[in-house]
Amino acid sequence: MKSLITFIALLAISCHGHSQNTPAGATRPNIIFILTDDMGFGDLSCYNGRYRTPNLDRMATEGIRFTSYYSAAPVCSPSRAGFLTGQSPARWKINNYLSDKKHNRDCEQDDFLSPAAPSVAKLFKAAGYATGHFGKWHMGGGRDVVNAPK
């Protein structure tokens, strides 16, 4: 857990988001969304957790905290699909974690999130933001899935 916290902290301080095509003098907020697996609300020191997380604490102090987000699912792939699309993951045939073709077929789900799905990244990009994803994707392209979009 400590290495995960360290990784996230290093990632957070190394990310410098910026917007494109912003009129002179206008500023837009940098938006950083951090999604972790198996992390409790009280794990960060800004919530009285036992781990020291000074960089995440600084982001929490200087930014906005959303403390009542409810995940669309208890496992990784559908929870990511729910956040990214703003819709039920089942709408995009992601009902469980995505893996190899047999597992996905047994779960009656697609092998990857459809490129046709709406996403917050697409909305931000259309609004002139530079967007990026770092870390675990887990939205398709499993071990034997060769037709996943790039």
Residues involved in catalysis: 76, 138
Rg (CA), the chain: 17
Evaluate whether 117 touches 92 at the Cβ level (below 8 Å). yes
HSE-up of residue 82 (Cα within 13 Å, Cβ side) = 18
Evaluate whether 9 touches 57 at the Cβ level (below 8 Å). no
In sign, the C-alpha dihedral spanning 136, 14, 4, 89 is negative
Return contacts of 116-119, CB within 8 angstroms, 24+ apart. Answer: 117/81, 117/84, 117/85, 117/87, 117/92, 118/85, 118/86, 118/87, 119/84, 119/85
